């Protein structure tokens, strides 16, 4: 049979090649003729049967793969790692053991084997046990590790001439796979793979492990060392020397209750703020409640615009125009899964139009003393295009310092908002769904009370987080960490957790680091005068309106 001919099907003893069929079908007369003949009908029947057989075979293979999945690496997109390290790890000055380490996409972006770490730390104050399946990781702190075999076995290396290189190691793709720490849900990016004995293993970022275990880890002479008598401490000086803040565009940590900044980096740089915009939206909603314009008990009719937005790629919760949802329900939708359509529905409810609401946002920005560059274009933080021939993509933007002013004001004026922002999960009956909070720190750190994530291509992965602390008199303080512009969610989560831990650490130490505080820019006289007068106007209207609610 010529190579160009392909065996298409077989019926009985006759074999019809592709070339034959094509020749026949290219001829209209023959096509018509064939259609009416049994040859054609048989050909199609045979082809269908063959196709059916192939499909069945594929399904069978898929089923086998799925059943095999439970005992092996999940068939998510697999990732092959060539940047591998047999990291020497010494605990409390003991002899070093090997911890399998993956450098995730970049050198020194270390993800270490949990089983190897657990085995090395077993019997120390920072010991932990764990179970890993194809889909879930469970850590149990302060428990001795139960070995399963294969722990602390180096990656196999291959010799290629004079070079020695590690073999390729396969895991699934980096992601937040189900993880529990002492029975509580946690959200850390991880790889799932297998160890030398084929036992399921998980790899976590070395910084995350240090924070989970609250253990002092450091590198010395190429060896990772642990002192299990010391807790994880953030040394901001050392981090800054190592270029810690280069990973993000801007950052700020401080006591929002007192308005004291602990540390900052490029805090005056105006950056796109994505969905952290919704903190301003929330503030104006609370102002409107206080002014009697709306009430928490109100029902809000979903507008055409909000419904349309919910059907786009930026929609979070499907909504229909005319639906009525409780205002409280929409607030949870706004802050937990970052529902853009909820923002729009609430804005239009308060001000009749998003335009008018945005005008209020900008006015509030001026009132709070934001930088001149701070500007809002919409109520949700999505990028928009300008209405011009040379249209450009623009987003709400402000600085980290502006955001600190915003959240300080929000949390001091309306401390009750943390009841919403600290909620991990909420059932929304109107929309028949349960929504989860996108803020990973709620799961990963104690005392975290919010506040809001934000992600767009331009803004990067950003997070405004907050933790509640109490001073020696029992008075509550909210420590806030603001981070804009991390490359991805994994970096955002790790950096933000370090920043927030640092903030709590400083607060607990009672010593605010000496730092040159840039004084807030003084407002021009005319602006200060306008704000003072209009402030009295708003108070006057609240007093005379007669519909003012008591503060929630």
Partner 1 sequence: MKSIKIIVISILLVSCLTLGGLFVWLALLNAHGEKGLSGSWQMQETLDGKYARNAAREWLSGADMGEQVEIADYIDNPKVSIILTFREDGSWEKRLEKESYEKAEERARKGLAAAFYELLALRAAKTGHDGLSQEDASQLMQEATGMNAEEYFSETGLRLLPPLDELQSFYDSSGTYAVEKDELIWNKASRYHFLVDDDMLVIYSDENRDFYEVYKKYASE
Binding site for partner 1 (CB under 8 A): 351, 356, 359-360, 362-363, 366, 523-527, 529-530, 532-538, 540-541
Nearest to 211 by CA among 507, 511, 495: 495
For partner 1, give the closer residue by CB, 91 or 379.
379
For partner 1, give the closer residue by CB, 28 or 372.
372
Contacts of 546 (CB under 8 A, 6+ apart): none
Whether 172 and 191 have beta carbons less than 8 Å apart is answered as yes
Tell me how far, at minimum, the Cβ of 288 lies from partner 1, in Å. 10
For partner 1, give the closer residue by CB, 166 or 362.
362
Tell me how far, at minimum, the Cβ of 549 lies from partner 1, in Å. 17
Triad 322, 325, 330: Cα angle to 5°:
120
Tokens standing for 272? Answer: 């796109």
Whether 127 and 147 have beta carbons less than 8 Å apart is answered as no
Q: Distance between CA 208 and CA 232 in Å, rounded? A: 11
Tell me how far, at minimum, the Cβ of 137 lies from partner 1, in Å. 50
Q: Over the range 104-122, which residues count as b (16 or more CB within 10 Å of their CB) and which as e? A: beeeeebbbbbbbbbbbbb
Tell me how far, at minimum, the Cβ of 350 lies from partner 1, in Å. 9
The torsion of the CA quartet 494, 496, 501, 505, rounded to 10 degrees, works out to 130
For partner 1, give the closer residue by CB, 367 or 471.
367
Tell me how far, at minimum, the Cβ of 399 lies from partner 1, in Å. 17
Establish whether the linkage from the previous residue to 459 is cis, with ω within 30° of 0: no
Whether 453 and 439 have beta carbons less than 8 Å apart is answered as yes
Beta-ladder partners of 129:
140
Tell me how far, at minimum, the Cβ of 523 lies from partner 1, in Å. 8
Separation in Å, CA 473 to CA 11, 381, 506: 90, 39, 17
Tell me how far, at minimum, the Cβ of 405 lies from partner 1, in Å. 16
For partner 1, give the closer residue by CB, 390 or 526.
526
For partner 1, give the closer residue by CB, 144 or 298.
298
Which stretches within 86-133 are classed as H helix? 114-121
For partner 1, give the closer residue by CB, 118 or 286.
286
Report the 3 state secondary structure along 174-229.
Answer: CECCEEEECCEEECCCEEEEECCCCCEEEEEEHHHHHHHHCCEEEEECCEEEEECC
Whether 548 and 290 have beta carbons less than 8 Å apart is answered as yes
Q: Distance between CA 469 and CA 488 in Å, rounded? A: 28
Handedness of CA 373, 376, 382, 383 (dihedral sign): negative
For partner 1, give the closer residue by CB, 100 or 360.
360
For partner 1, give the closer residue by CB, 425 or 545.
545
DSSP 8-state assignment for residue 50: H
DSSP 8-state assignment for residue 309: H
β-pair type (476-486, 250-255): antiparallel
Separation in Å, CA 498 to CA 274, 482, 494: 22, 11, 6
For partner 1, give the closer residue by CB, 246 or 537.
537
For partner 1, give the closer residue by CB, 95 or 533.
533
Nearest to 399 by CA among 217, 276, 314: 276
For partner 1, give the closer residue by CB, 510 or 524.
524
Tell me how far, at minimum, the Cβ of 376 lies from partner 1, in Å. 13
Tell me how far, at minimum, the Cβ of 544 lies from partner 1, in Å. 12
Nearest to 271 by CA among 429, 127, 452, 402: 402
Nearest to 497 by CA among 531, 460, 446: 446
């Amino acid at each position: 049979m010529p190579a160009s001919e392909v065996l298409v099907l077989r019926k009985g003893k006759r074999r019809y090649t592709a070339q034959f069929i094509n020749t026949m079908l290219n001829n209209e007369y023959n096509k018509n003729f064939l259609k009416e003949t049994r040859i054609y009908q048989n050909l199609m029947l045979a082809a269908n049967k063959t196709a059916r057989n192939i499909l069945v075979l594929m399904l069978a293979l898929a089923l086998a793969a799925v059943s095999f999945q439970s005992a092996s690496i999940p068939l998510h997109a697999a990732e092959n790692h060539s940047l591998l390290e047999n990291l020497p790890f010494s605990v409390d000055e003991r002899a070093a053991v090997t911890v399998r380490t993956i450098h995730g996409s970049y050198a020194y972006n270390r993800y270490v084997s949990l089983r190897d770490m657990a085995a090395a730390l077993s019997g120390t104050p920072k010991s932990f046990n764990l179970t890993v399946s194809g889909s879930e990781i469970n850590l149990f702190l302060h428990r001795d590790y139960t070995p399963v075999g294969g722990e602390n076995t180096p990656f196999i290396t291959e010799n290629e001439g004079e070079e020695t290189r590690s073999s390729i190691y396969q895991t699934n793709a980096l992601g937040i796979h189900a993880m529990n720490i002492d029975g509580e849900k946690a959200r850390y990016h991880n790889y799932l793979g297998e160890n030398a004995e084929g036992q399921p293993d998980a790899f976590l970022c070395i910084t995350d492990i240090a924070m989970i275990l609250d253990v002092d880890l450091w590198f010395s002479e190429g060896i990772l060392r642990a002192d299990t008598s010391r807790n994880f401490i953030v040394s901001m000086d050392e981090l800054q020397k190592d270029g810690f803040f280069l990973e993000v565009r801007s950052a700020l940590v401080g006591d929002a209750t007192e308005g004291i900044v602990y540390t900052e980096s490029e805090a005056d740089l105006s950056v796109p703020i994505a969905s952290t915009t919704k903190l301003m939206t929330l503030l104006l909603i609370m102002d409107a409640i206080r002014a009697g314009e709306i009430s928490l008990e109100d029902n809000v009719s979903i507008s055409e615009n909000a419904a349309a937005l919910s059907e786009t790629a930026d929609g979070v919760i499907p909504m229909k125009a005319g639906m009525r949802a409780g205002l409280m329900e929409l607030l949870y939708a706004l802050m937990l899964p970052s529902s853009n359509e909820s923002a729009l529905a609430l804005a239009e409810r308060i001000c009749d139009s998003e335009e008018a609401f945005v005008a209020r946002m900008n006015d509030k920005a001026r009132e709070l003393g934001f930088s001149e560059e701070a500007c809002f274009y919409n109520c949700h933080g999505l990028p928009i295009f300008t209405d011009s021939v040379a249209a450009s993509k623009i987003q709400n933007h402000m600085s980290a310092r502006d955001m600190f002013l915003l959240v300080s004001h929000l949390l001091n004026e309306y401390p009750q908002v943390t009841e919403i922002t600290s909620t991990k999960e909420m059932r929304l009956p109107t929309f028949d769904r349960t929504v989860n909070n996108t803020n990973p720190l709620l799961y990963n750190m104690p005392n975290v009370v919010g506040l809001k994530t934000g992600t767009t291509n331009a803004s990067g992965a950003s997070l405004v987080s907050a933790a509640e602390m109490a001073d020696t008199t029992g008075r509550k303080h909210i420590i806030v960490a603001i981070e804009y512009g991390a490359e991805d969610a994994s970096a955002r989560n790790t950096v933000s957790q370090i920043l927030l831990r640092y903030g709590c650490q400083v607060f607990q130490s009672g010593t605010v680091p000496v730092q040159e505080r840039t004084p807030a820019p003084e407002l021009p006289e005319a602006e200060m005068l306008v704000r003072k007068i209009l402030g009295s106007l708003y108070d006057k209207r609240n007093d005379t309106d007669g519909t003012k609610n008591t503060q929630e």
